[in-house]
Amino acid sequence: MLVSAFYAGLLYFALTDAPSWAELSEMGQAGLLWPVAWAHVTGLPVAAAVVTVLYLTGALAAAIAPGHRLGRALAAFGMLEFTALHYSAGKIGHGTHLWLLAAIVLIFLPDVGRSPGRRERQSYLNVFWTAHALILLTYSMSGLGKLLGALRQASQGQITAFHPQAMALHIADRLTETGSRSPVGLWLVDHVAVSWPLMLGTIYLQIFTFWSIFRPSLLRLWTGGLIAFHVATYWVLGIRFAPPILLLAMWGLASPFLPSQTPLKVMLTDLPIAGFVIKKWLKSPSVSHSMP
């Protein structure tokens, strides 16, 4: 069901992205990415039309028959080509990268037939789990980047991501660079007491995102946190990352691995680092005696 929903979402993106083929056909040929290097031969107008048709056809085929590998492969290939052309000419953008990575992994879903056995179902879930884990891993890499960046800057005596002004500097730098305005961003720049904990919380959330795929009790909480993070970056920095929100919500909030109920105590003790401290605290005689 979630795989079908994935390809329905992909078809929606293909349809909403399709009108940009006209813009792509007028793009300069300098800086084409490797999957669309052939556009040097055909020219941009032909290449833009071809990749748009490929993207639409593949997404439609996979949405109609998500159980067929050929359709899924065509969908991934079409998306790879379209995304490569869209992000050519030095353009920066990663809005649909997570969908593309997931589409590539989902090609390898096994054919389970009408009445799959236990092993077939496990194999199917393994591929699905890996696609989800791959998405969550990118957030942990982002958190890791902030941690390594902070270590490097600390060694050079510079302000790091853990400094109270770090988020204010990020916001100010981004808004001045892009010439965009954000009332929420401006407010946060002037209220470090709010922006500092948000920055520290973001780093914690990102670093341990990958952890949540191994702790189903935390998956819903972490998914909610990541969605809130994307909404916040839009309001504060003007960075719109809508496609990942849909993917996170679909797979994180409706995951087949989610427990039906998660007691608060389990959730708290499963938290990375903090959970270890909470577990110790709960085991301490003063708390365990007072608990019923």
| Residues at the interface with another protein (CB under 8 A) | 27-31, 33-35, 80, 83-84, 87, 89-94, 97, 100-101, 104-105, 110, 119, 122-123, 126-127, 129-130, 133-134, 137-139, 141-142, 144-146, 148-150, 152-153, 158-161, 163, 165-166, 168-170, 172-173, 175-180, 186, 189, 238
- Closer CB to another protein, 92 or 291, in the complex: 92
Q: Which residue has the tokens 């393994």?
A: 126
- Closer CB to another protein, 32 or 61, in the complex: 32
- Closer CB to another protein, 34 or 284, in the complex: 34
Q: How far apart are CA 270 and CA 278, in angstroms?
A: 9
Q: How far apart are CA 126 and CA 2, in angstroms?
A: 14
CB 88 within 8 A of CB 33: yes
- Closer CB to another protein, 236 or 269, in the complex: 236
- Closer CB to another protein, 16 or 29, in the complex: 29
Q: How far is the CB of 282 from another protein (least distance, A)?
A: 33
Q: How far is the CB of 286 from another protein (least distance, A)?
A: 41
CA angle 113, 119, 120 (to 5 degrees): 20
- Closer CB to another protein, 174 or 279, in the complex: 174
Q: Which residue has the tokens 């770090």?
A: 166
Q: Which two tokens stand for residue 285?
A: 């005689």
Q: How far is the CB of 248 from another protein (least distance, A)?
A: 15
Q: How far is the CB of 203 from another protein (least distance, A)?
A: 10
Q: How far is the CB of 83 from another protein (least distance, A)?
A: 7
| Ramachandran angles phi, psi of 92, nearest 5° | -100, 130
Q: How far is the CB of 170 from another protein (least distance, A)?
A: 6
CA angle 93, 97, 102 (to 5 degrees): 175
- SS3 track for 217-255: HHHHHHHHHHHHHHHHHHHHHCCCCHHHHHHHHHHHHCC
AA letter at 246: L
